[in-house]
Amino acid sequence: MKNIFKLSIGFLMAAVAFTSCNDQKSGQSGALRSSNAEKVYVAPGEHDSHYAFISGGYSGNLTVYGLPSGRMFKEIPVFSQFPTNGYGYSEETKPMLETSYGFIPWDDSHHPDISQTNGKLDGRWIFINGNNTPRIARISLTSFETEEIIEVPNSAGNHSSSFITENTEYVVAGTRFSVPIPQRDMAIKEYKGNFKGALSFISVDPEHGHMDIKFQVLMPGFNYDLSHPGRGKSHGWFFFTTYNTEEANTLLEVNASQNDKDFIAAINWKKIEEYVNNGGGTMMPANYAHNVYDEATHNATSTMKKEVRVVNPAEVPGAVYLLPTPKSPHGCDVDPTGEYIVGNGKLSANLTVHSFTKMLDAIENKKFDGDAYGIPILKFEDVLAGSVEQPGLGPLHTEFDGKGNAYTTFFISSEVVKWKLGTWEVIDRKPTYYSVGHLTIPGGNSREPFGKYMFAMNKITKDRYLPTGPEMEHSAQLYDISGDKMELILDFPTHGEPHYAAAIPAEIIKNNSRKIYRLAENQHAKKATSDADTKVVRDGKNVHVYMTMIRSHFSPDNIEGVKVGDKVFFHITNLEQDFDVPHGFAMIGANNAELLVTPGQTRTLTWEPKQVGVWPFYCTDFCSALHQEMQGYVRVSPANSNIELSWGLGEE
- Is 256 a residue that touches ligand CUA (CB under 6 A)? no
- Is 538 a residue that touches ligand CUA (CB under 6 A)? no
Q: Give the three-state DSSP class for 622.
A: coil
- Is 623 a residue that touches ligand CUA (CB under 6 A)? yes
Least Å from the CB of residue 199 to ligand CUA = 48
Of the pair 126, 634, the CB lying nearest ligand K7E is at: 126
- Exactly one of 373, 627, 631, 649 binds ligand CUA (CB under 6 A); that residue is 627
Of the pair 231, 583, the CB lying nearest ligand CUA is at: 583
Q: Other CB atoms closer than 10 Å to residue 144's CB: what's the count?
A: 18
Distance CA 197, CA 263 (A): 14
Per CB under 6 A, contacts with ligand CUA among 31-90 are none
CA neighbor of 501 nearest in space, from 82, 176, 62, 135: 62
Least Å from the CB of residue 602 to ligand CUA = 16
CA atoms within 13 A on the CB side of 307: 7
CA neighbor of 494 nearest in space, from 58, 10, 137: 58
- Is 323 a residue that touches ligand CUA (CB under 6 A)? no
Q: Give the three-state DSSP class for 571.
A: strand
Of the pair 479, 617, the CB lying nearest ligand CUA is at: 617
Count of residues engaged in binding ligand CUA, rule: CB under 6 A: 7
- Is 583 a residue that touches ligand CUA (CB under 6 A)? yes
Nearest residue relative to ligand K7E (C-beta): 437
- Exactly one of 159, 290, 429, 447 binds ligand K7E (CB under 6 A); that residue is 159
With beta carbons less than 8 A apart as the criterion, state whether 399 and 439 touch: yes
Least Å from the CB of residue 397 to ligand CUA = 44
- Is 587 a residue that touches ligand CUA (CB under 6 A)? no
Of the pair 164, 226, the CB lying nearest ligand K7E is at: 226
Per CB under 6 A, contacts with ligand K7E among 221-250 are 226
CA neighbor of 168 nearest in space, from 198, 141, 145, 143: 141
Of the pair 302, 552, the CB lying nearest ligand CUA is at: 552
Least Å from the CB of residue 201 to ligand CUA = 46
- Exactly one of 630, 632, 634, 647 binds ligand CUA (CB under 6 A); that residue is 630
Q: How far is CA 295 from CA 304, 524, 602, in A?
A: 21, 9, 10
- Is 578 a residue that touches ligand CUA (CB under 6 A)? no
Of the pair 60, 556, the CB lying nearest ligand K7E is at: 60
CA neighbor of 276 nearest in space, from 193, 174, 170: 170
Residue at 232: amino acid letter: G
Residue at 325: amino acid letter: T
Least Å from the CB of residue 463 to ligand K7E = 21
Least Å from the CB of residue 596 to ligand CUA = 10
Per CB under 6 A, contacts with ligand K7E among 426-445 are 437-438
Least Å from the CB of residue 162 to ligand CUA = 37
Torsion angle defined by CA atoms of residues 460, 462, 467 and 472, in that order, rounded to the nearest 10 degrees: 10
- Which partner from the list ligand CUA, ligand K7E, none does 70 bind, CB cut-off 5 to 8 Å by kind? none
- Which partner from the list ligand K7E, ligand CUA, none does 579 bind, CB cut-off 5 to 8 Å by kind? none
Listing DSSP states for 372-383 in one string gives ETTEEEEPHHHH
Of the pair 159, 231, the CB lying nearest ligand K7E is at: 159
- Which partner from the list ligand K7E, ligand CUA, none does 557 bind, CB cut-off 5 to 8 Å by kind? none
Task: Draw the binding track, 482-501, toward ligand K7E (x: CB under 6 A; -: no contact).
Answer: -----------------xx-
Q: Give the three-state DSSP class for 550.
A: strand
Near ligand CUA by CB under 6 A, which window of 81-89, 180-188, 259-267, 617-625?
A: 617-625
Name 193's Cβ contacts closer than 8 Å, sequence gap at least 6: 221, 247, 373
Near ligand CUA by CB under 6 A, which window of 101-109, 216-224, 535-543, 616-624?
A: 616-624
Of the pair 211, 597, the CB lying nearest ligand CUA is at: 597
Per CB under 6 A, contacts with ligand K7E among 346-405 are 396-397
Name 204's Cβ contacts closer than 8 Å, sequence gap at least 6: 115, 138, 164, 168, 169, 170, 171, 210, 211
- Is 330 a residue that touches ligand K7E (CB under 6 A)? yes
Least Å from the CB of residue 583 to ligand CUA = 4
CA neighbor of 253 nearest in space, from 1, 564, 628: 1
CA neighbor of 478 nearest in space, from 395, 416, 420, 425: 416
Name 48's Cβ contacts closer than 8 Å, sequence gap at least 6: 42, 66, 67, 68, 69, 71, 506
Listing DSSP states for 292-323 in one string gives EEETTTTEEEEEEEEEEEEE-GGGSTTSEEEE
Q: Other CB atoms closer than 10 Å to residue 629's CB: what's the count?
A: 13
Distance CA 14, CA 330 (A): 19
- Is 111 a residue that touches ligand K7E (CB under 6 A)? yes
Residue at 326: amino acid letter: P
Least Å from the CB of residue 646 to ligand CUA = 24
Q: Other CB atoms closer than 10 Å to residue 551's CB: what's the count?
A: 17
- Exactly one of 5, 103, 579, 622 binds ligand CUA (CB under 6 A); that residue is 622
- Exactly one of 211, 213, 417, 619 binds ligand CUA (CB under 6 A); that residue is 619
Distance CA 407, CA 428 (A): 9
Least Å from the CB of residue 347 to ligand CUA = 56
Residues that bind ligand CUA (CB under 6 A): 583, 619, 621-623, 627, 630
Residues that bind ligand K7E (CB under 6 A): 110-111, 159, 226, 330, 396-397, 437-438, 499-500
